[in-house]
Amino acid sequence: MSVAGGRLAVMVPWTLSDIERALRSSWTADICSPDDLPQWHPGNPARGQCDITALVVHDLLGGELILGEVHVNGVRRGHHWWNRLSTEVEIDLTREQFEPDEVVTNARLIERPRGPLGRREREYEELRRRIADLLGPLPRRMSGHLV
C-alpha cells in the first residue's frame, strides 16, 4: 500500500506469471545484447536478453544473481545470467534461447554491477520502462551488492 494525496492507495499484487508474461512480451531485437543479435529472431526472443532480464527480476524479487559460461564444443562462447531467490529457488526465464550444442557451465554467484551498466544501461532501462508500462510502478533498482 502507498499513500497518494492523503489517501491510502491499494496496489494490485503481481503474480510470477504476470512478471514472466510482461518480460517475455517486452523482448525485442533493439534490446538484445549486440553479441547475440545475429542469432536473435522473433521465434527466439529470449536470445541476448538474459543479463537485463536477470537484473529486472532482481529488482522485483531480490535474491542473488548467477553467471554461467556458455560453451559450444568445449569452447567458451559467452555468458549467461539468471536468478536465485532467497528461498534457493533458481529462476531462468531465458534458458530456452540456447541451441542444443550450447551448454551452460561453471555457474557462480556474482555481485550486481554498481551504478550504470555501461554498454547495456540503455537496454536495461528500456526493459524496465516496458515492464512498468505493463505492470505499473516498479521498485527502485537494487544496489550493487548481493541481497
Could you count the other beta carbons within 10 Å of the beta carbon of residue 4? 8
Flag whether 6 is in a domain: no
At residue 119 the predicted structure's pLDDT band, cuts being 50, 70 and 90, is: confident
Flag whether 52 is in a domain: yes
CA terminus-to-terminus distance, the chain = 23
Q: What share of the chain is helix, strand, coil (3-state, %, to 5)?
A: 35, 25, 40
- Domain span at residue 109 reads 14-135
Q: How many domains does the chain have?
A: 1
Flag whether 33 is in a domain: yes
Question: Is the separation of the CB atoms in 146 and 109 below 8 Å?
Answer: yes
| pTM for the full predicted model | 0.88
- Tell me the C-alpha distance between 112 and 94, whole Å: 18
Is the pLDDT score of 93 beyond 50? Answer: yes
Flag whether 107 is in a domain: yes
Flag whether 2 is in a domain: no
At residue 117 the predicted structure's pLDDT band, cuts being 50, 70 and 90, is: confident
Flag whether 147 is in a domain: no
Relative orientation angle of helices 16-26 and 50-61, to the nearest 10 degrees: 150
Provide, rounded to the nearest whole percent, the portion of the chain with pLDDT above 70.
89
Residue 141: predicted pLDDT: 77
Query: 20-48: buried (b, 16+ CB within 10 Å) or exposed (e) per residue?
Result: eebbeebbeeebbbeebeeebeeebbbbb
SS3 105: strand
* Residues in CB range of 15: below 8 A, 6 or more apart: none
